[in-house]
Amino acid sequence: MKNVLTVALGVTALAFTASVASADTLSDVKAKGFIQCGVNTGLAGFSAPNDKGEWTGLDVDFCRAMAAAIFGDGTKVKFTGLSAKDRFTALQSGEIDVLSRNTTWTVNRDTALGLNFAGVTYFDGQGFMINAKKLPGVNSALQLSGAAVCVQAGTTTELNLADYFKANKMEYNPVVFEKFEEANAAYDAGRCDAYTTDQSGLYAVRLQMSAPDDHVVLPEIISKEPLGPAVRQGDDKWLDIAKWTYYALLNAEEAGITQANVEEMKNSENPDIKRILGVEAETKIGTDLGLDNAWVVNIIKATGNYGEIFERNVGSGSPLKIARGINALWTKGGLQYGMPIR
């Protein structure tokens, strides 16, 4: 009887779209022919649908890179827009295979919520934005005592905000919104003096204001927000693929392999580059991961290296114009350090 019910419900679900998650995500993904990737419903630079309804952004490109690593084709990925609230449920229930939605890596999430983080695709920190026209003379978050602050509910941001004001013995009025867009709109209408979220998010929000130039981001960073892709616990093979896709992007940048020159680089004499691109004789790196040996070539062809992804989505090539800062490679004074592909 239990089986009958299961089957009946299962058929209903399949009629729409269902994915069956098991301990072996890679085989499942290969069987269905695409990765289901959970992203933010709309955060410029990280994941947002463009005019044509295609998803773009840094988080989105990470999923494309994973698709390229697995299928050799960066388009074999489907995106699910998720709110802060339903993102973990979606991953746990198997609705998505990878969660790439500007999610902060915390110990609580790594353990109690059953996630595994693959790396930090963007080192962020929480900051404040104010309307400089309305509040001339405010140039530090420490001057915000008594301010009304707009914030999104159910995020680490909300908790950091409470801690920061408490630690500095300042008063504030939180105005908490369920959704990012609601918080934006209220801040734009002057409901709050300050808006707080991850700094990268602040730059994105600024663009959506009716007078972007009036708003300034304050220098204080009140928390560590390492944002990265996460997968379900208990599937090491799938975690490896997510992890090494990320490292491949970093290694490619470090070795100077770009979308434009990846084909020539294959003929390079440099053993490092040869190893990364899988053109070394008798190489097993790709197959050991359960992928094709040309996996890095496929990734770079699809999305470019980490630097290219960064500049295209949030850096100089984007309206956000965020500097690399701590997201530069370790060789250039940043924190991005790709484990060696060897």
Partner 1 sequence: MQEHDLSWVRTEMALAQAAPRSEVGPLAWARKSLFATPVDSALTIIAALALAWALPQMLNWAFFNAVWSGADRTACLTTEQGGFLPAGWTGACWPFIDARLGYFTFGRYPVDERWRVILCGAIFLALLVPLLTPRAPFKRLNAILFFAVFPFIAFFLLLGGYFGLPYVETPLWGGLMVTLVISYVGIVTSLPLGILLALGRRSKMPIVKLLSVIFIETVRGVPLVAVLFMASFMLPLFVPPGMTFDKLLRALIGVALFSSAYMAEVIRGGLQAIPKGQYEGADSLGLGYWQKMGLIVMPQALKLVIPGIVNTFIGLFKDTTLVLIISLFDLLGTVKQSISGDPTWATPQTAKTGYVFAAAVFWIFCFSMSRYSIYMERRLDTGHRK
Partner 2 sequence: MASQEAIRASEPAKASLLYDPKVRSLVFQAVLIFLLILGGWWIVDNTIENLRRSNITTGWAFLRGRAGFDISDRLIDYSSDSTFFRALVVGVLNTLKVAIAGIVLATIVGFMVGIGRLSNNWLIRKICTVYVEVFRNIPPLLVILFWYQGVLAVLPQVRESIALPFTSFLNVRGFYLPAVVWNGSGLMVLGGLAIGVLLSWYVARRAYARQMATGHSFPVLWVSLALIVGMPLLAYLLSGMPATVDYPQKGNFNLTGGFNIKPEFLSLFLALSFYTASFIAEIVRAGILGVPKGQTEAYSALGLRPGTGLRLVVVPQALRIIIPPLTSQYLNLTKNSTLGVAIGYPELYSVGGTTLNQTGQAIEVVVIFMVVYLSISLVTSGFMNWFNNKMALKER
Q: Which of 26, 132, 175, 209 binds partner 2 (CB under 8 A)?
A: 175
- Work out whether 218 is an interface residue with partner 2 (CB under 8 A): no
Whose tokens are 């928390």? That residue is: 223
How far is 211 from 192, CA to CA, in rounded Å?
A: 16
Whose tokens are 């990012």? That residue is: 180
Q: Which of 24, 26, 32, 49 binds partner 1 (CB under 8 A)?
A: 49
Q: Which of 61, 124, 193, 225 binds partner 2 (CB under 8 A)?
A: 193
Quick note: the x/- pattern for partner 2 over 56-95, rule CB under 8 A, is: ----------------------------xx--xx--xx--
Geometric angle at alpha carbon 174, from 173 and 179, rounded to 5° = 155
Per CB under 8 A, contacts with partner 1 among 16-45 are 16-22, 41-42, 44
How far is 56 from 11, CA to CA, in rounded Å?
A: 33
- Least Cα distance to 220 among 279, 272, 276, 168 occurs for 168
CB of 98 to partner 2, least distance (A): 16
Total number of residues binding partner 2 (CB under 8 A)?
A: 48
- Work out whether 3 is an interface residue with partner 1 (CB under 8 A): no
- Work out whether 214 is an interface residue with partner 2 (CB under 8 A): no
Q: Please say which residue, 262 or 322, places its beta carbon nearer to partner 1.
A: 322
How far is 66 from 295, CA to CA, in rounded Å?
A: 9
Q: Which of 30, 32, 191, 324 binds partner 2 (CB under 8 A)?
A: 191
Binding window for partner 1 (CB under 8 A); candidates: 9-17, 135-143, 144-152, 323-331: 9-17
Contact in structure between 115 and 232 (CB atoms under 8 Å): yes
Tell me which DSSP letter residue 242 carries.
H
Q: Please say which residue, 130 or 300, places its beta carbon nearer to partner 2.
A: 130
Q: Please say which residue, 236 or 288, places its beta carbon nearer to partner 1.
A: 236
Q: Tokens in use for 20?
A: 């069956």
Q: Tokens in use for 130?
A: 């104010």
- Work out whether 189 is an interface residue with partner 2 (CB under 8 A): yes
Task: Annotate 101-113 with DSSP letters as a single string.
Answer: EEEE--HHHHHTT
First CA to last CA across the chain, in angstroms?
52
User: What stretch of H or E contains 74?
Assistant: none
CA distance to 105, 268, 284, 307, per residue, from 339 (Å): 19, 21, 17, 16
Q: What is the contact surface with partner 1 in residues (CB under 8 A)?
A: 6, 9-10, 12-13, 16-22, 41-42, 44, 48-49, 52-53, 78-83, 86, 89, 92-95, 178, 181-182, 184-185, 188-189, 207-212, 319
Q: What is the contact surface with partner 2 in residues (CB under 8 A)?
A: 1-2, 5-6, 84-85, 88-89, 92-93, 111-114, 134-135, 143-148, 153-155, 158-159, 161-163, 166, 172-178, 182-183, 185-186, 189-191, 193, 233-234
